[in-house]
Structure 1
Amino acid sequence: MPNQNGIRAIEVRLISKEENNMSNARFGMVFSTTEDSHYFYDSGTGKVVSCNTQEKKFLEDILNNKISLKEACENNQEFAVLISEEKLFACPEEREFLIPSKEEFEELITGHCEQIILEVTEACNLRCEYCIYHEHHPEFRGFSNRNMTKEVALRSIDNVLRSYKKDRFALTFYGGEPLINYQLIKESILYTQKKYPNIKLDISFTTNLTLLRKEMIDFFKSLDNVYILCSLDGPKDFHDKYRKYVNGNGTFEEAIKGIQLLREHFYFEGDEEHTFAINCVVTPPYSKKNLDRLEYFFREELKLPKDVSVSYSYLDRGQMQVDLGSSGLIADDIGGKLEASPIEEWALDKIIKKEERQEELFSIISQDMLRVAKRLRADDGLIEKTYFHGNCVPGQRRIYVNVDGTYKVCERIGASPTLGNHISGYDIDKIYKEYYKDYVEYFKRICKNCWAQPMCSICYERTMDKDGIKKDVPDSVCMGSRRLIRDAFISYYRLYEMDREKLEETLQKYEKARKEAEGIRQYEVYGESL
C-alpha cells in the first residue's frame, strides 16, 4: 500500500444507498479507478494510499464496521505498522471548524466586500420551465414586476464603497432579466464612476439575450471591463424545450440574434476588456449523445471563438417533474464510473481518449481536480481543524441586494436570514449568530462521523431557510457531498495514472489563471437558472 501524494460545485441530482453506520466511516473512504486499481483516502491526514483488491476489501470491512480497527491490527501486523507510521485511521472524533471571532469577522467584511450584486428587477419576459422562481422551488420568491429603485441601488453602492479599501470593484446586475431595468443599470454605473473615480469597475450581468439592443451594446462597449454571461441551452430543439416566452413560444431565434449583436458590436478577438460567455443548462437525461451534440453546436454550428467559454450546468429540478424517458437520469453511454457527475465523466473520457479541445474539456473538471490537489493534508500529523464546509464569509467577497434593499448572502440562496439592508447596512450580531455560531453548533454533531468533513462543499444554499439553520437538514445533502468528493478523487486519479506530469502541469496553469482572475476581473456571475 504505497503512499500516493497527490471538486465538484454542482448540486447532486442522484442519490443512491449509503452506509448507515458511520462510526468507523469517519476514517476515510475507498475508491477505484479501474477494476484493479484502488485507493484509500485517509481523512485524518489527507493522504491517499494505493491498495490491491484484497486490501480494498479489508479496508472496506473496517470502514463498514464489519471488523473493529483493533481486531484488524491484531490480525494484520503489516497493516498495524503502516497505520502507525503514516498516522492513518487516527481521525479525531471531533474537529474544530476554522471560523473567525466576532471581532475578526467584522474586520473581514468592513471595507473588503469586492462585489455587489443588485437585483434590479424581479420581472422577466421569459418563463423558462426550470426557473427557480416557479412553484416547484417554494424556497424562492415567485415572479413579479417589482423593480429596484434608484435610491436603493445607489445607497447600497455607497454603503459598500465609502469604506472600500481596494482599487478594483465588481458591480453586477441580476434579475429577473436585468435588461428590463436597463436604465437603472446605466444610472448605477455612471453614478459609481463619477463618485468613486479611483476605483476601477468590473461590470457584469446575466442575460437571456432577447432584450439586447444595439444602443445597449454601444453603452457597454464604451466602458472598461464588461463581462456578459449569456443563457443559451444549445440548438433550437434543446433550447426551446424549456426556455420560453410567457406565451409559451420558444426563444432560440431571438437569443441567437443577441449573440450575433455581441459578436458584431461588442466582442473582438483579443479584447480582454469586453467579453461574453455562454451558460448552458444541460437537462436530463444526461447522455454522451446529447453532450456531444451540444459541443458540436457551440463550436461547429455557432462557431464561437475559442476564447468565448461555454459552461455546462446541471438542471436544478427542485420539485419539478422531468420526463426521463427509458434511459433514466443518466444514460448508459456516459459510462457510470462516477455516481453523480455525468457531465464531468463525459469530459474526462474525452480527455483520456485525447480528443480535440483538451483545454476546453479540462476546464469542465478543473475545479474538481484542484479541489483534490489542494486538499488539506497533514503529512507529519493530523488535521485537527477544518474549513467551514463550502461556505463563504457572508458579506465579505460579495453581497446580494434584492429589489427592496434587503442584503442576502448571494442570489443562489432562496429563503435565508438577511445580512442587513440598504438603510442600516450590515447587522453584524445577527450575521455572526445565524451564519457562524448556530451553524457550528448544529453541524459539529453531524460532521464528527463523516470522512468528507475536511473537503465538504455544502454551502448555506442547502442548509438555511428564513429562520436560520433548517430544523432537519436532509441526509441526502450530506450523502450528495460525499458522492461528489468521491467522484472528484476518481477523476483525479484516472488522470494521475494516465500522465502525472501532464496533470500537474495543467493544474499549475489553472491555479495560476484562477489566482490572476481573482485579482483582476472574473467575478462570479450566475444565470437565472443556476
Structure 2
Amino acid sequence: MGNVIQDALAFLVNLHPDQWARLGTVFETENNQYFYDTGTGKVFACDPAEYAVLECLLSTSDPAAITGLGLEDNALQQALETITLLVEQEHILQAPVFQKFVTPEKAELPGIIKGGIEQIIIELTEKCNLRCKYCLYQEDNVDTRNFSKQDMDWEVARKALDYISQNAGKMLALTFYGGEPLVNFKLMKQCIEYCKAIMPGVDIPVSFTTNLTLVTDEIAAYLASLDQCSVLCSLDGPEHVHDYYRVTVGGKGSFHQALQGLKRLVAAFDGKPQHSLGINAVLCPPYSKRRFDEVNDFFKTLEWLPKDTRIDCSYVDTGTLDWSELGHVKTDLQDEEFYSEDERTDPLGKWAEYTLDSDQDERGLAKELSQKKLLRIHNRVITDEPLLGIHMNGCCIPGRRRLYVTTDGKFKVCEKMANSPYIGDVETGIDIEAMSKYYFEEYTEKSIKHCSTCWAARLCGICYAPCYQEAGLDEEKKQSHCYGERAAMKMSLKRYHQLVEVSPEKLEYFNELTLS
C-alpha cells in the first residue's frame, strides 16, 4: 500500500512542481464538499479524504505534505487514486499558466466598432439638484470631478449622435447620465427625437437613472409616449434611511419628492409592457440583517408598485471620501453586525441567501441580489480539457458594448470610469490607438501576471471601472479588489451548489437571464 501512495505522490509532483493554488479551490455547503477546477470549469463532489488532500495541495503546493494529514492509509490511498483518475480522465489540475488574455488584435478593432456600437451614454449635465452625502462627485473625492454648472450643448450632442448613427447596428440603447439627467430634460428630449429622425430603421430603447425629484406629469407622459423606455429610480428605502444621505442642496431630505416622482412614472407607464421601472437602493455601513429586512419590507409595502419592478441594491462606493465626514454613521445607525467570514465579505449576498431560504415571496431585494451573484457561476464555461487562455476578467471591448460621451464631447469607456484615459471625441471619433494602448496592452501587461496565478481567473467579474486613474491602469488599485472578488466567487460557488442540493428548481430561472 505504501508503494501505491508513493507512486501517486510522485505523479502529483510531476504534474505541477509549484503554484498549485491557481489550479482550483475547495468549498463546502451544509451537506457536501466540492472542488472547482480552474482549467475546465468543472466542479466535483469530494469525500472528506479527497477534500483534505486537495485542500492540502492547493494551500501548500507540496504533495509530500499530504502524508502529514493524519489520514488512514486506506482512505489516503483511495483519495489519491480517485484524484489521479480525475486528472487522467477529466483533465483536472492541468490549467496552464496563462500567458495572455484572449483579446482582439488592434487591426481588428475598427471593424469591431463598425459592426455596431450597442449603447451610447450621453452625459447631459454635471449639475444635480441633490447633494447626497455619499456621492462620488464632490471636491473631497480626488478620483472624480466635482459638481459643476456644466451642461452638454446641442452641438456636442448632435455630433455624438451623428457619429453613433454611422456605427449603429439594428439596435442602439440610448442612455442618459448626469448629474441628474432631468436637470437637462430639454436636451434629453431633443436627442431622442433626433435619433428617431436619423436612424429610422434602428430599434432605440431609451434609459436613464434618476433621483425622481424632478419628475413631473409632463415628463412622465413624454417618457410613456416612447416605444421603449426604462427608468432606474434611486430610492434608498423608508424615509429615515433615504433622508439620512439623500438630501437637497439645502440639506433637507428628498424622500417625499422622490416617492411622488415614482408614483407619477408608475401611473404613466401603466399598461405599457415595453416600459419598465427599476429601483436601486444604495446601502451604507454598518450592515445588519435587521436593516436589510427593513429596506426590503418597505418596498414590499408599496402595493401600487408593479409586481415586475426590478428592485436592486448596492454597496456604497465612497471613493476617497472620509466616512467620519458623512454623519457619524456608527452612532446614529448602529445595529447588529455580521460576524461570519462570508457575512463580512458580502453581507448583502449572505442576507439574500438567508432571505430566499426562508421567504418564498419573490418580490423584493433578495431575488435580484441572488441572481447577480449566481449567474456568473451558472453561465461559466465548462470544457472537457483546460482552455489555454482567459478573457480580460469582466471587461468589455471599449467602444463596442457602450460609449460614454462627456458634456464637452470626450469619449470614455463607460459612465463608471470617472478619471480615466479618453478614447476619442465627437470631432475625430474613437481613437483606436488610445483604446488599444490603455485598455488592452496596458491592462494585459499589468494584470496577466496576477491573473495567471489566480484560481478565480475564469470567473472574475472585475472590469475596468474600479481600476483606472487619469494616467491609466492603477495596478495597486486593481489588486485591492482581487481578494474580495475571490471571496465573493467562492461564496457564490457555495450558494449555487447548496441550491443544486436542496432547491434545484430555483436554478431554472437563470436559463432566462444574461450577464449585463
TM-score with structure 2 setting the length? 0.88
Deviation at 1:178, TM superposition (A): 0.9
SS in 2 for 1:430: helix
Retained in 2: the 8 A contact 1:42–1:89? Answer: yes
> Is the alpha carbon distance of 1:382 and 1:474 closer, same or farther for their aligned partners in structure 2, counting shifts above 3 Å?
closer
Retained in 2: the 8 A contact 1:352–1:498? Answer: no
Query: Match of 1:234?
Result: 237
Deviation at 1:484, TM superposition (A): 1.5
Query: Match of 1:68?
Result: 63
CA RMSD of aligned residues (A): 2.6
Deviation at 1:224, TM superposition (A): 1.4
Deviation at 1:413, TM superposition (A): 0.9
Q: Distance in 1 between matches of 2:236 and 2:339?
A: 20
Deviation at 1:111, TM superposition (A): 4.2
Retained in 1: the 8 A contact 2:411–2:424? Answer: yes
SS in 2 for 1:278: strand
Deviation at 1:471, TM superposition (A): 4.9
Retained in 1: the 8 A contact 2:181–2:210? Answer: yes
Greater RCO structure (CA 8 Å; 6+ sep): 1
In the alignment, structure 2 segments of 5+ residues that lack a partner are 1-17
> Is the alpha carbon distance of 1:324 and 1:42 closer, same or farther for their aligned partners in structure 2, counting shifts above 3 Å?
farther
Retained in 1: the 8 A contact 2:461–2:485? Answer: yes
Instruction: For 2:330, give the aligned amino acid.
Output: G
Deviation at 1:175, TM superposition (A): 0.3
Instruction: For 2:173, give the aligned amino acid.
Output: A
Instruction: For 2:253, give the aligned amino acid.
Output: G
Query: Match of 2:25?
Result: 29
Q: Is 1:179 aligned to residue 182 of structure 2?
A: yes
Instruction: For 2:266, give the aligned amino acid.
Output: R
Q: Distance in 1 between matches of 2:216 and 2:359?
A: 41
Instruction: For 2:238, give the aligned amino acid.
Output: P
Q: Distance in 2 between matches of 1:361 and 1:472?
A: 33
Retained in 1: the 8 A contact 2:311–2:364? Answer: no
Query: Match of 1:151?
Result: 155
Q: Distance in 1 between matches of 2:313 and 2:235?
A: 10
1:192 aligned residue (191, 195, 216): 195
Q: Distance in 1 between matches of 2:365 and 2:156?
A: 40
Retained in 2: the 8 A contact 1:288–1:334? Answer: no
Instruction: For 1:161, give the aligned amino acid.
Output: S
2:269 aligned residue (264, 267, 270): 267
Flag the structure with higher helix content.
2
Query: Taking every aligned residue pair, what percent have the same amino acid on both sides?
Result: 35
Retained in 2: the 8 A contact 1:278–1:309? Answer: yes
> Is the alpha carbon distance of 1:336 and 1:445 closer, same or farther for their aligned partners in structure 2, counting shifts above 3 Å?
closer
Deviation at 1:85, TM superposition (A): 2.8
Q: Distance in 2 between matches of 1:200 and 1:211?
A: 27
Q: Distance in 1 between matches of 2:98 and 2:401?
A: 29
Q: Distance in 1 between matches of 2:321 and 2:165?
A: 40
What does 1:423-438 align with in structure 2 at a 5 Å threshold? 423-438=427-442
Query: Match of 2:282?
Result: 281
1:439 aligned residue (443, 458, 471): 443
Q: Distance in 2 between matches of 1:353 and 1:37?
A: 21
> Is the alpha carbon distance of 1:155 and 1:27 closer, same or farther for their aligned partners in structure 2, counting shifts above 3 Å?
same
Considering only CA atoms, is the larger Rg found in Structure 1 or Structure 2?
2
Deviation at 1:71, TM superposition (A): 6.7
Query: Match of 2:9?
Result: none
Deviation at 1:504, TM superposition (A): 3.8
> Is the alpha carbon distance of 1:165 and 1:357 closer, same or farther for their aligned partners in structure 2, counting shifts above 3 Å?
closer
TM-score with structure 1 setting the length? 0.86
Q: Distance in 2 between matches of 1:71 and 1:80?
A: 14
Q: Distance in 2 between matches of 1:246 and 1:391?
A: 36
Instruction: For 2:29, give the aligned amino acid.
Output: T
1:130 aligned residue (130, 134, 139): 134
Q: Is 1:393 aligned to residue 394 of structure 2?
A: no
Q: Distance in 1 between matches of 2:46 and 2:242?
A: 46
Q: Distance in 2 between matches of 1:283 and 1:393?
A: 32
What does 1:214-253 align with in structure 2 at a 5 Å threshold? 214-253=217-256
Deviation at 1:439, TM superposition (A): 1.4
> Is the alpha carbon distance of 1:362 and 1:210 closer, same or farther for their aligned partners in structure 2, counting shifts above 3 Å?
closer
Retained in 1: the 8 A contact 2:20–2:61? Answer: no
Q: Distance in 2 between matches of 1:236 and 1:219?
A: 28
Deviation at 1:426, TM superposition (A): 0.5
Retained in 2: the 8 A contact 1:122–1:403? Answer: yes
Instruction: For 2:60, give the aligned amino acid.
Output: N
> Is the alpha carbon distance of 1:441 and 1:474 closer, same or farther for their aligned partners in structure 2, counting shifts above 3 Å?
closer
Deviation at 1:355, TM superposition (A): 2.7
> Is the alpha carbon distance of 1:472 and 1:292 closer, same or farther for their aligned partners in structure 2, counting shifts above 3 Å?
closer
Q: Is 1:118 aligned to residue 113 of structure 2?
A: no
Query: Match of 1:498?
Result: 502
2:350 aligned residue (335, 345, 354): 345
Retained in 2: the 8 A contact 1:28–1:43? Answer: yes
> Is the alpha carbon distance of 1:472 and 1:286 closer, same or farther for their aligned partners in structure 2, counting shifts above 3 Å?
closer
Q: Is 1:367 aligned to residue 372 of structure 2?
A: yes
Q: Distance in 2 between matches of 1:69 and 1:24?
A: 13
SS in 2 for 1:280: strand
> Is the alpha carbon distance of 1:327 and 1:482 closer, same or farther for their aligned partners in structure 2, counting shifts above 3 Å?
farther
1:98 aligned residue (99, 102, 109): 102
1:40 aligned residue (29, 35, 38): 35
2:207 aligned residue (204, 208, 212): 204
Q: Distance in 1 between matches of 2:166 and 2:302?
A: 47
Instruction: For 1:154, give the aligned amino acid.
Output: R
> Is the alpha carbon distance of 1:228 and 1:324 closer, same or farther for their aligned partners in structure 2, counting shifts above 3 Å?
same
Deviation at 1:119, TM superposition (A): 0.4
Relative to structure 2, which stretch is displaced further, 483-492 or 146-155?
A: 483-492
> Is the alpha carbon distance of 1:477 and 1:330 closer, same or farther for their aligned partners in structure 2, counting shifts above 3 Å?
farther
Relative to structure 2, which stretch is displaced further, 89-98 or 476-485?
A: 89-98
Deviation at 1:474, TM superposition (A): 5.1
> Is the alpha carbon distance of 1:195 and 1:87 closer, same or farther for their aligned partners in structure 2, counting shifts above 3 Å?
closer
In the alignment, structure 1 segments of 5+ residues that lack a partner are 1-21, 516-523, 525-530
